[in-house]
């Protein structure tokens, strides 16, 4: 309805304008020597309106053409970038597939046209190393530094990982120490340092970075405790130990809460016995076994040169009540009984020990006892059992 009303109003207005133009035609004169133009006003207005419409459409066409050209250029650039991105992506895929020669070629092909070629150079360095092309690897790493100096940490970590894989441990340490100056608590840097020091057996250097490992939370609390324990145990096995003073110095460096760890006590006690500090070893073993069981400490205790055997037998008997019939305890008690010449008890302890499973040392000690008691056939049987156990253990090493 409203459309009809508007249409009628426009029609009436058009008729009125037409009548007025016919009654008062008027003229427009334009003079510009040597030309003069005369036309009705209505024609001039109509021509102006048509000119403005044509001008508007011309501007619109030009603007649309520019937009189409802009879209075309963007499409060309996208196709070009997509082409080289595809090469980079294909190169990384080949790298994962261990097709290193092709991977290196595709990664380098995508370098010049990509906006961020850092990943290309790092991937190419990895591919070159896998082909034992270490000179090319170093060249790619250097180019990565040149194009992205702000990524010093990422490039350095990659460089250290490649050096570590190649076995260049000294270069790896130098690279990682440089990175620690940039980021002292970076977890990956500290983790790599830990691996290098473990591989080299540099326990002192490893001990020096323990506080950083703890602060950076590279390891969980349980892993860190296990790591510390293994570290100090390995230090007691170091070939640089040449005297009892060296042993005691390491012991003093161990935190107090770790001195109660039976594995560490075992490693320390072995060194004390090696340097003839048997009294200190005996006291330490006895205090430790009073609170927690450790088979290695029981074995060490059984080999000490005791002077008061009856007292040691009472102590070992108390452990038997605390921890039950452990094979190491039964062997210890059997050896003590042999030294005190309690033959019957010694045989009983050895038999109980062997009843729990094959034991080469128990078989040997029992065989020796039987030889003393003039029972050679039974002794030979025990020796045979011990020998079979030793052979079985050796076979398991190669399986």
Number of domains in the chain: 1
pLDDT score of 14: 64
In a domain, 381, yes or no: yes
**Tens digits of residue pLDDT in 362-391:** 888 878 888 888 888 887 887 787 777 776
pLDDT band at 28 (very low <50, low <70, confident <90, very high): low
Other Cβ atoms closer than 10 A to 198: 15
Cβ-based neighbours of 387, under 8 Å, separated by 6 or more: 360, 363
The CA distances from residue 177 to 5, 165, 180, 196, 202, in Å, are 88, 17, 5, 12, 15
Q: For residue 96, what are the contacts with CB-CB under 8 A and spacing of at least 6?
A: none
> What mean pLDDT comes out for the span 114-140?
84
Rounded alpha-carbon distances, angstroms, from residue 192 to 160, 183, 238: 8, 14, 22
Percent of residues, the chain, with pLDDT higher than 70: 81
Query: Which pLDDT score is estimated for 394?
Result: 63
- Asked if the model's pLDDT at residue 397 lies above 60, the reply is no
Rounded mean pLDDT of 46-62? 75
Range 146-159 average pLDDT? 86
Which pLDDT value is given to residue 207? 82
CATH number of the domain to which 396 belongs: 1.25.40.10
Q: Model-level pTM?
A: 0.63
Q: Compute the mean pLDDT over every residue in the chain, rounded to the nearest whole number.
A: 80
Backbone dihedral region for residue 374 (phi beyond 0: left; psi -120 to 50: alpha; all else: beta): left
| 28 DSSP 8-state letter | E
Report pLDDT for 10. 64
Residue 189 pLDDT more than 70?
A: yes
Q: How confident is the model at residue 341 (pLDDT cuts 50, 70, 90)?
A: confident
Does residue 347 sit within a domain? yes
User: Which pLDDT band holds residue 24 (cuts at 50, 70, 90)?
Assistant: low
Could you read off the pLDDT of 221-236 as tens digits, one per residue?
787 888 888 888 888 8
Res. 15 pLDDT band, cuts 50 70 90: low
* For residue 77, pLDDT beyond 70: no
Is 350 inside a domain boundary? yes
Residue holding tokens 């490649």? 162
- C-alpha pair distances (Å), 14 with each of 24, 43, 47, 123, 399: 15, 15, 17, 77, 108
Task: Please give the full DSSP string across 277-312, using - where no structure is assigned.
Answer: -HHHHHHHHHHHHHHS--HHHHHHHHTS--S-HHHH
- Mutual orientation of helices 262-274 and 295-302 as an angle, nearest 10°? 20
Average pLDDT in the 163-173 region? Answer: 88
- Residue 318: asked if its preceding bond is cis (omega within 30°), the reply is no
Per the document, the length of the chain is 399
- pLDDT at residue number 94: 80
What gap in Å lies between CA 18 and CA 24, rounded to an integer? 10
Q: What is the mean pLDDT of residues 67-94?
A: 63
pLDDT for the residue numbered 73:
61
For Cα atoms 66, 68, 69, give the angle at the middle one, nearest 5 degrees: 65
Q: Which domain holds residue 377?
A: 326-399
Classify the phi-psi angles of 341: left when phi > 0, otherwise alpha if psi is within -120 to 50, otherwise beta.
Answer: left
d(CA 398, CA 149): 50
Domain-located, residue 352:
yes
Whether the predicted pLDDT of 194 surpasses 80: yes
pLDDT per residue as tens digits for the range 289-325: 888 999 899 888 888 887 788 888 888 888 988 988 8
pLDDT for res 369 = 81
Residue 190 to residue 177: CA distance in whole angstroms? 9
CA distance linking residue 196 with residue 167, whole number of Å: 9
Report the pLDDT value the prediction gives residue 37, as an integer from 0 to 100.
Answer: 65
Is 351 a domain residue? yes
Q: Is residue 37 part of a domain?
A: no
**Residue 384 resides in a domain:** yes
Question: d(Cα 244, Cα 142) in Å, to the nearest integer?
Answer: 50
Band the pLDDT of 69: cuts 50, 70, 90: low
- 362 in a domain, yes or no? yes
Terminal Cα distance for the chain, rounded = 99
């Amino acid at each position: 309805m409203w459309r009809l009303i508007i249409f009628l109003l426009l029609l009436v207005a058009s008729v009125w304008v037409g009548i007025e133009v016919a009654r008062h035609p008027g003229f427009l004169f334009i003079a510009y020597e040597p030309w003069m133009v005369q036309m009705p006003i209505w024609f001039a207005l109509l021509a102006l309106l048509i000119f403005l419409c044509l001008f508007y459409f011309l501007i619109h066409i030009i603007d649309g053409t520019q937009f189409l050209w802009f879209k075309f250029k963007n499409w060309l650039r996208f196709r070009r970038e997509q082409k080289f991105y595809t090469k980079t992506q294909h190169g990384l895929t080949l790298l994962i597939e261990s097709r290193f020669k092709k991977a290196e070629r595709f990664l380098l092909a995508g370098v010049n046209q990509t906006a961020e070629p850092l990943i290309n150079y790092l991937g190419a360095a990895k591919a070159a190393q896998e082909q034992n092309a270490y000179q090319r690897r170093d060249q790619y790493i250097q180019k990565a530094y040149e194009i992205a100096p702000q990524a010093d940490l990422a490039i350095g970590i990659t460089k250290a990982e490649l050096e570590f894989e190649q076995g260049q441990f000294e270069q790896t340490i130098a690279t990682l120490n440089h990175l620690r100056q940039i980021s002292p608590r970076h977890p990956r840097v500290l983790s790599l340092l830990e691996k290098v020091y473990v591989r080299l057996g540099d326990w002192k250097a490893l001990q020096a970075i323990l506080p950083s490992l703890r602060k950076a939370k590279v390891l969980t609390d349980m892993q860190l405790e296990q790591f510390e324990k293994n570290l100090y145990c390995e230090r007691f096995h170091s070939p640089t130990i040449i005297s009892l003073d060296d042993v005691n110095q390491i012991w003093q460096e161990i935190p107090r809460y770790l001195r109660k760890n039976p594995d560490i006590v075992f490693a320390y006690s072995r060194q004390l016995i090696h340097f003839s500090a048997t009294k200190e070893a005996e006291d330490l073993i006895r205090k430790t076994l009073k609170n927690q069981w450790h088979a290695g400490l029981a074995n060490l205790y059984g080999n000490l040169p005791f002077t008061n055997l009856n007292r040691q037998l009472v102590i070992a008997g108390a452990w038997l009540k605390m921890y039950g019939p452990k094979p190491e305890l039964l062997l210890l008690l059997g050896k003590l009984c042999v030294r005190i010449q309690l033959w019957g008890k010694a045989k009983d302890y050895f038999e109980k020990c062997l009843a729990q499973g094959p034991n080469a040392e128990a078989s040997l000690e029992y065989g020796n006892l039987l030889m003393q008691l003039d029972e050679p056939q039974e002794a030979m049987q025990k020796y045979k059992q011990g020998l079979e156990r030793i052979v079985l253990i050796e076979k398991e090493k190669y399986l």
